Structure 1
Amino acid sequence: MAPTLRHRLPSARKIWLQTHLWLGLTAGFLLALIGLTGSVLVLNDQLLRIEVGDIFDVAGPIPSQPAVDQWIANARRAYGDLELGFVLGPGFGPTGNAAVLGAVGAGNTHWLITIDSNSGLPLGNYIWEDRFATFVLRLHASLGASGGWLSWGRDALAWLGVAMMVLMATGLYLWWPRNRNWYIALTLKRGARGRRRLLDLHNLFTVYLYVPLFILAATGVYFLRPDWIDPTISLVSVERTPDPGALAQVSKPGACPARTTPGQAAALALARYPSSRLAAVVIPSAQDQPLVVQLAPPDNFGLKGQTQVYIDPVCPIILTVLDREAAVAAETFKAIVHPLHFNLMLGRLGQAIVFLAGLILPLSWVTGLLLWLDKRKNRKRSA
C-alpha cells in the first residue's frame, strides 16, 4: 500500500508548483499593479515638475543659517495665515533644493509652499491631494480609501507583500537548476519558441532582479505593518525615546515675552550641532508640545535616523536631544528602510533598478498567465 499511497500523493515539487501558480494568478494581478505604480513613482520628481512647474530649484549655495521665520512670514503674506505643520530645509522637500513649508488649508487640504532659501521669497505652492503623483502614491500604498477600509486595506496590502515573498521563494525553488547548469538557467534558449520562450522570459524577468525585488517586498511590508517586525528587532535593540521627564519641563505660559518661533528652534539646534544641516522643523498643533528640529548629519540617510532636538515652545531652550551619533541598531534599521525602498541606497542607479524591478511584476504576471492559458489549451487538445 505504501508505494500506491506515494504514487497518489503529489510530489513536493508539484505542491510548490501549484502554490506558485495560484498565488501568481490571484495575488499576482494586484502585485503587478503595485509594481507598475511603484515604477511610476520613481518618476515622481519629473511628474511633479510637469504638473506644478519649476518651483523647486534655487540658484546659488544653500545658506548655512536658514531664515526659517522669514520664510514663514513671507509665505503668510503671500497665501494667508495658514496653519503650518512643518518646515523642510533646503534639499529635503519632494524634489529640488528649495525649502518647503507644509500647511493645512480649507477643507483639510494639505498645502506645500516652496521657498527660495536665499531670498526668502515664495516660489509657488500646490495642494498635495490634487496631484497625479499623489493619486498614484495612494493607489500604490492602498491609501485611496478612508474610514474602516483604511486599516483593512493596509493589512490586505501587507499580506500581499508576504504573498509576493512566498511567490519569489517558490519561484526560485522551481527555477533552481537541478543539474547545476547555470549557463542554461541564466540565458534564453537559442531557437526557443512558444511556451519554452515564455517560460524563459518568465524566469529571467525575476531572477536577474531577485534581490532588489525581495528588498522592495520586505520594506513595503514593514511600512504597512511595522508591528509585525519591531518585536523581533526589540529582542536585540530597543529604540530610544525622548526623556519624558525632560519633555515635562515645558515652561509655563507667559514665562517668556514671546513664544519660541520655528526659526529660533532651528537656530538653537544648529548652534548645538553646527556641522549638521536643517532637515525639518515639526510645529505641533498643541500649545504645550515641544517643537522638534531634525538635523541631518554628514552621513544622513533621510528624514529617519537623524538628530532630533526638542525645543521648549514657550521659552527658547533645549529640553532634550536624541543624538544621531548615539543611535542604536533599531534606529539605524528604521533609518535605512525608506532609502532602501526608494532607491536601494544607490542614488540614481538604484532608482533605475527599482524602476525596472517594478515593471518586472506586471511582465511576470502576463507571462505567467499566458503559460497557464497555453497549458489549459494543451490539456483540452489532449482530452
Structure 2
Amino acid sequence: MSLPIPAPRTVLFRLHWALGLTAGFVLALMGVTGSLMSYEEAITAFVNRDRTRVEARDRVPLAPSALAARIDAQAGGRTVNVLTLSDDPEASVFVRFARDPETRARPPSLYADPYDGAVLGPVRLEAAFSTVRDLHRWLLIPGGSKGWGRTITGACTLALIVFLATGLYLRWPKIHRWRIWLKPTLSRPGRPRWWSLHAVAGTWLLPIYLVIALTGLTWSYPSFKDGVSWLLAGTPERGKPTRMAGSREAPPVPEASAGPALDRAWAAFRAGEGHAAGLAILTLPGADTQAIRIRWLPRGVDALSARNEARYDAATGTPLSTAHAADTPLGRRIVENILEVHRGRFFGSLFALLFCLAALSLPGFAATGLVLYILRRRASRRRAQPRAATPTRETRPREQPVVGADR
C-alpha cells in the first residue's frame, strides 16, 4: 500500500512551521542582539559622555607620536595601535591597543586627553557589547568563529531566507489587492487575526530581512562572500591584498624613526587630504601594519561608508596612495562596507532605524508563529475527537389488547 504524497503547499507549510519551532527562536535572539548593536556607537557615546569631552582652553594638541608614547607609558605594557582624532577641540581621543601576540585578544580601549596624553578612563560597556556581539555571531558557544556557533547562526540565516520564500508562497492570494497584501485584518478573532498580523508584517519587512540575511551569510560562508565580491566588485574579497591598489610595500619600520615618520605623515595629511576632515582614524605602523593608514570622514558626515583613506610610508611619512569614497564604484563600496549594509546605515539614518525595528520584530514573528502553531494543534485535536453518542429517550411500545383475553 503506497503512502499518499502530500501536496507541495502542505510540504512548504510543514517546513515553514518546523523551521519556526527551531531556527525561529535563534533568529529571535539574533534580532534582539542585532538591534542593540545597531546603535552601539550612540549608546557607548552616551554612557561615556563624561570621558569624551575635555577642556581645550588655549592648549596645543600633542603630536601623534608624543601622544601615543604618553599613553603607552600609562598602559602597563600595552601598545597603542589606533588613535581616533577629531577636529573638535573639546573632543577626547579614542585609543585602541594592539592585540596580544600570543592570545590575539585585544586589550580594552580607553579615552585620553589629546593635549597632555592623560588617560581619562576605559570605555564603558565595551565588554558588554563584546559579549552581545559574540552572542549574535556564534551564541557564545566555545570556539568562536571556528566553533559550532558560527555553523548554527549561518544555518539559521539560511532558514530566514526559507521563511521569506515559503511565507510569500503560502500567503499568495487568488485575488491581488493592496489591502490583502499590506493591510492586516485585526477585527477577525482567533487564528485569522494572528495569521493576518504575522503574514502582513512579514510582507512589509521582507525586503529588509532579505538584505539582512544575504549580508549576514558573508560572515558564515567565505565562499558566498567571495561570490558576492566577484559579483559586485569583480574581485574576490578573501585573500585580496591589504594595501591599496597603486601603493607600494613599505619597508620595515626602524624603532627610532617610527615617531618622526608618524608626525610627518600626520602633518602632510592635515595640510593636504585632511584639511577638511572632521574625524580621522590613525593606524600606527607595527608588526601587522607596515604602512601608516589614515581613514577619515569630512566634517558634518558620520556615515562610516563615506570614509576616505590615505596611506603614508612608515619610514619616511611620504604619501603612498589615497582613495575617496565618492570615486569608488558602488559595488566596491558595498563590499567594503558590508557591515554598514547589514545594519542599514549604508542607506542613511532612516533606513538604519527601520533595520533596527525589523530586527526587534523577529521575536514577534517567533511569538505569533508559536501562537498559530498552538491554536492549530488545538483545532486539530478537537476535530479528531469522535462525537459522543447523543442519548435518546426510550419509548415503551403501546400495549395491544389481547384478543379474547376478556373471555
TM-score of the two chains, using structure 1 as the length reference: 0.79
Distance change (3 Å), C-alpha of 1:119 and 1:85: closer
State whether residues 253 and 285 of structure 2, in contact with CA within 8 Å, keep that contact through their aligned partners in structure 1: no
In structure 1, the gaps of 5 or more residues are none
In structure 2, the gaps of 5 or more residues are 385-407
Confirm whether residue 124 of structure 1 aligns to residue 115 of structure 2: no
| DSSP 3-state at the match of 2:310 | strand
Larger Rg: 2
Q: What corresponds to 2:192 in structure 1?
A: 196
State whether residues 279 and 298 of structure 2, in contact with CA within 8 Å, keep that contact through their aligned partners in structure 1: no
Question: What's the CA shift for 1:303?
Answer: 4.8
Matches of 1:216 and 1:33, distance apart in 2: 15
Matches of 1:259 and 1:70, distance apart in 2: 8
State whether residues 90 and 117 of structure 1, in contact with CA within 8 Å, keep that contact through their aligned partners in structure 2: no
Say what the alpha-carbon RMSD is for the aligned residues.
3.9
State whether residues 84 and 282 of structure 2, in contact with CA within 8 Å, keep that contact through their aligned partners in structure 1: yes
Question: What's the CA shift for 1:112?
Answer: 1.2
| DSSP 3-state at the match of 1:188 | coil
Q: Deviations over 1:117-164 (max 9, x none)?
A: 5776543223776x3222212111227345476354323322321210
Q: What corresponds to 2:33 in structure 1?
A: 37
Q: How does 1:46-57 map to 2 (within 5 A)?
A: 47-48=43-44, 54-57=50-53
Q: What corresponds to 1:248 in structure 2?
A: 249
State whether residues 216 and 342 of structure 2, in contact with CA within 8 Å, keep that contact through their aligned partners in structure 1: yes
Matches of 2:185 and 2:247, distance apart in 1: 67
Confirm whether residue 154 of structure 1 aligns to residue 155 of structure 2: no
State whether residues 20 and 171 of structure 1, in contact with CA within 8 Å, keep that contact through their aligned partners in structure 2: yes
Q: What corresponds to 1:206 in structure 2?
A: 202
Question: What's the CA shift for 1:235?
Answer: 4.9
| DSSP 3-state at the match of 1:89 | strand
Question: What's the CA shift for 1:180?
Answer: 1.1
Matches of 1:285 and 1:134, distance apart in 2: 24
| DSSP 3-state at the match of 2:86 | coil
Question: What's the CA shift for 1:379?
Answer: 1.4
State whether residues 23 and 163 of structure 1, in contact with CA within 8 Å, keep that contact through their aligned partners in structure 2: yes
Matches of 1:287 and 1:381, distance apart in 2: 67
Aligned AA for 2:365?
S
Q: 1:115 aligns with which of 93, 112, 115?
A: 112
Aligned AA for 2:267?
A
Distance change (3 Å), C-alpha of 1:156 and 1:372: same
Confirm whether residue 342 of structure 1 aligns to residue 343 of structure 2: yes
State whether residues 100 and 113 of structure 1, in contact with CA within 8 Å, keep that contact through their aligned partners in structure 2: yes
Q: How does 1:186-335 map to 2 (within 5 A)?
A: 186-189=182-185, 191-235=187-231, 237-238=233-234, 241=241, 242=243, 247-248=248-249, 250=251, 253=254, 259-273=259-273, 274-286=275-287, 289-296=290-297, 302-303=303-304, 306-324=307-325, 326-335=327-336
Aligned AA for 1:312?
D
Question: What's the CA shift for 1:34?
Answer: 0.5
Aligned AA for 1:16?
L
Matches of 2:184 and 2:326, distance apart in 1: 49
Q: What corresponds to 2:367 in structure 1?
A: 366
Question: What's the CA shift for 1:361?
Answer: 0.8
Question: What's the CA shift for 1:218?
Answer: 1.9
Q: What corresponds to 1:170 in structure 2?
A: 166
Q: What corresponds to 2:357 in structure 1?
A: 356
Q: What corresponds to 1:21 in structure 2?
A: 17
Count of aligned positions: 372
Distance change (3 Å), C-alpha of 1:319 and 1:336: closer
State whether residues 292 and 311 of structure 1, in contact with CA within 8 Å, keep that contact through their aligned partners in structure 2: yes
Q: What percent of counterpart residues are identical?
A: 25
148-157 or 134-143: which moved more?
A: 148-157
Q: Deviations over 1:247-274 (max 9, x none)?
A: 33526848x8565454433333344414
Q: 1:99 aligns with which of 84, 93, 98?
A: 93
Distance change (3 Å), C-alpha of 1:283 and 1:268: same
Distance change (3 Å), C-alpha of 1:161 and 1:258: closer
Structure of greater relative contact order (alpha carbons < 8 Å, 6+ residues apart): 1
State whether residues 280 and 293 of structure 1, in contact with CA within 8 Å, keep that contact through their aligned partners in structure 2: yes
Moved over 6 A (4+): 298-301
Q: Deviations over 1:157-199 (max 9, x none)?
A: 2232121012112112222332113214432325311111111
State whether residues 103 and 111 of structure 1, in contact with CA within 8 Å, keep that contact through their aligned partners in structure 2: yes
Question: What's the CA shift for 1:70?
Answer: 4.6
Q: What corresponds to 2:399 in structure 1?
A: none
Q: Deviations over 1:47-91 (max 9, x none)?
A: 535765632346789x9x984335324433544452112122339
| DSSP 3-state at the match of 2:233 | coil
State whether residues 301 and 339 of structure 1, in contact with CA within 8 Å, keep that contact through their aligned partners in structure 2: no
262-271 or 295-304: which moved more?
A: 295-304
Distance change (3 Å), C-alpha of 1:116 and 1:174: farther
Matches of 2:300 and 2:349, distance apart in 1: 18
State whether residues 308 and 323 of structure 1, in contact with CA within 8 Å, keep that contact through their aligned partners in structure 2: yes
